[in-house]
Structure 1
Amino acid sequence: MIATILLLEDDQQLSDTVKQFLQYQGYNVLCAYDGLQAQEIAYEKHIDLMLLDIKVPHQNGFDFLQTLRDNGVQTPAIFITSLNSVEDVTRGFDIGCNDYIRKPFALKELLVRVDALLKRRYGTHEEKIDLGDGFMFDIKEMLLTRNKQRVPLKTKEAKLLSLFLEYPNELLNYNKIFERLWDYEEEPSAGSLRSYVKTVRSFLGKDNIETIKNIGYRFVKE
């Protein structure tokens, strides 16, 4: 599974450098050069991690992240900025960032922080997640087993199961689900999605996946 990173940075040369470096490391990177453009990407695309400069046009990085957090978006975020006062760092964490890196920075240091945050997305450092009742899901292999016996899953069912486990207690709107499950040249199907949700409910619990009418779904995990 290739993780997608939103990079908000108005310095195009730095943006290109970071993008090329992270893509070489196997990540998909979507670039925004101002806060409003970043908002469009954040709400329209499936994003696993955000790298946010603060001093950008139209809407600064602080306000951008605050808007997302106010709307229930909990995607991990790292602020990348030349601001270095204790007040700025404190404000960033109060808003809801997960990490903070000061410019200038080494690309290797950035990679270490990115890798660390993305490994925590599943709430575990293990590659296999115990779903209960004998079910285990292998994140890396996208493989579901029960009592060590493989459970047949369609590719999109496995992707949906992975998505719910990756974003527990977070509202996933239809656009983000379609983005993850269907390839670019495919036409998303609401009917097929309902069928996939029904299958995944049999593993995660019928009452643990909420249907948010006309918006999407939420996997509720205590």
Structure 2
Amino acid sequence: MKILLMEDDLILNEIIEEHLLEMGHEVISVFCGNDAEELLYSQKFDLLLLDVNVPDIKGFELLLNLRENSIKTPAIFLTSLSLADDVEKGFQSGCDDYIKKPFELKELDLRINNIKRLFNISSNNQINLPNNMILDKENLLIKKDKEEIHISKKEIEVLIYLTRNKDKIISIEELSSNVWAYEDSPNASTIRTYIKNLRKILGEELITNIRGVGYRFNSK
């Protein structure tokens, strides 16, 4: 997983970063909200680990701004704010989990693994799709029956986002915000072309076109 870690305590930042690297994750760590925001609009991450009381933009405000811009990257708050009102504010700002400091690294691993389960984030390079199909991320192909169909890296990223949000209607705008960096956002027709190609390969019944609204990846 590619993880953004925002923690302004230098020692704790280093401890968490080293642990995550040992667990096989790719980690980019920052110490303030401004640096985090800059990265979040120029790169894509699988998970956000966010302290709340950091310089510049606070964690709650940062995540709320992301959610208002349709960026739905899973997020866990790591914070010493432990009152029920704080937890409520954290979830209202759009977090997927909330860990109160101090915490053990094993607990962090358990929470991360739960996020991976909920959002269908695979640790390996292959993702099982319905109808016995397999997405091979490393080799940029879909294995369908005995056939191997090559697709582009961006088509893979679109498909992964749809599978992580299976059975939910995803708009063109949401795909653009969560698959492309802000500066590289494509026009709607480009995204429709990617979807059209994926539907042709996977079958139209697997990715439903909700006319005028968006697309839905069907898990069944």
What is the TM-score of this pair, normalised by structure 1?
0.73
Distance (Å, rounded) in 2 between the aligned partners of 1:79 and 1:221: 29
What residue is the counterpart of 1:128 in the other structure? 128
The percentage of aligned residue pairs carrying the same residue is: 34
What residue is the counterpart of 1:173 in the other structure? 176
Distance (Å, rounded) in 2 between the aligned partners of 1:210 and 1:43: 29
What residue is the counterpart of 1:61 in the other structure? 59
What residue is the counterpart of 2:150 in the other structure? 153
Check the 8 A contact 1:122/1:166 in 2, yes or no: yes
Check the 8 A contact 2:208/2:215 in 1, yes or no: no
What residue is the counterpart of 1:186 in the other structure? none
- Cα distance change, pair 74–193 in 1 and its aligned pair in 2 (3 A): closer
Pairing 1:15-30 to 2, within 5 Å after superposition:
15-30=13-28
Pairing 1:188-203 to 2, within 5 Å after superposition:
198-202=196-200, 203=202
What residue is the counterpart of 1:215 in the other structure? none
What's the CA shift for 1:16? 1.5
- Cα distance change, pair 195–90 in 1 and its aligned pair in 2 (3 A): closer
Letter in 2 for 1:44: S
What is the TM-score of this pair, normalised by structure 2?
0.74
What residue is the counterpart of 1:214 in the other structure? none
Check the 8 A contact 2:134/2:142 in 1, yes or no: yes
What residue is the counterpart of 1:183 in the other structure? none
Segments of structure 1 that go 5 or more residues without pairing to the other structure are 180-188, 212-217
What residue is the counterpart of 1:184 in the other structure? none
Q: Secondary structure at the match of 1:152?
A: strand
What's the CA shift for 1:41? 1.0
Pairing 1:30-109 to 2, within 5 Å after superposition:
30-109=28-107
Segments of structure 2 that go 5 or more residues without pairing to the other structure are none
- Cα distance change, pair 90–47 in 1 and its aligned pair in 2 (3 A): same
Check the 8 A contact 1:160/1:200 in 2, yes or no: no
Check the 8 A contact 1:208/1:221 in 2, yes or no: no
- Cα distance change, pair 209–8 in 1 and its aligned pair in 2 (3 A): farther
Letter in 2 for 1:18: I
Distance (Å, rounded) in 1 between the aligned partners of 2:91 and 2:43: 24
Given candidates 160, 163, 186, the residue that maps to 1:162 is 160
Check the 8 A contact 1:80/1:101 in 2, yes or no: yes
Distance (Å, rounded) in 2 between the aligned partners of 1:29 and 1:152: 32
- Cα distance change, pair 112–29 in 1 and its aligned pair in 2 (3 A): same
Distance (Å, rounded) in 1 between the aligned partners of 2:211 and 2:46: 21
Distance (Å, rounded) in 2 between the aligned partners of 1:209 and 1:27: 36
Distance (Å, rounded) in 1 between the aligned partners of 2:39 and 2:110: 24
Check the 8 A contact 1:128/1:138 in 2, yes or no: yes
Check the 8 A contact 2:137/2:156 in 1, yes or no: no
Deviation string 1:122-150 (CA, Å, 9 cap, x unpaired) is 399xx5221xxx5623478876333x323
- Superposed CA RMSD: 3.7
